A = this chain, B = another copy of it.
Amino acid sequence: MTNTTLTPAQMAERTGVSLDTLRYYEREGLLDDVTRADNGHRRYSEDDALWIEVLRCLRATGMTIEQLRHYCELGAQGDTTKPERRQILLDHRRLIERQIEERQEALRLVDHKLEHYREIT
């Protein structure tokens, strides 16, 4: 069993992305040419697993499917698109930073409201 591929179920387990969502991402062009076993079943590679982790992370921080598709298309077009891909990541990085700031402010606000309840268990 020195098999380096993952079944759909294993991938779902490992990445926390559901079977349906894995197929959905593939349909949307976020995951290209997943190899297949003889019976037509998907066999994900380790690289697929890493990329799906990236997808999960970018989605969780608010990148849309549309934006991810664009990023993937750029990747497929080769090295000339590297600057644009880099810019997309830089822009998203700033978005994440703003999200962190927004949440730190939210913590302050929640803490302020919690003071109002401080006398209780």
Residue numbers of A with Cβ under 8 A of B are 53-54, 57-58, 60-61, 82-83, 85-86, 89-90, 92-93, 96-97, 99-100, 102-107, 109-111, 113-114, 117, 120-121
Copies in the complex: 2
The 7 closest A-B pairs by CB, nearest first: A86-B117, A61-B106, A57-B106, A93-B110, A100-B103, A96-B103, A83-B120
**Neighbouring B residues of A114 by C-beta, 8 Å:** 86, 89-90, 93
Q: A61-B102, A102-B60 are in contact. Are A110 and B83 (CB under 8 A)?
A: no
Closest Cβ of chain B to A64, distance in Å, is 15
Q: What secondary structure prevails in chain A residues at the interface with B? A: helix
Closest Cβ of chain B to A101, distance in Å, is 10
**Neighbouring B residues of A105 by C-beta, 8 Å:** 57
Contact call B99/A117, Cβ cutoff below 8 A: no
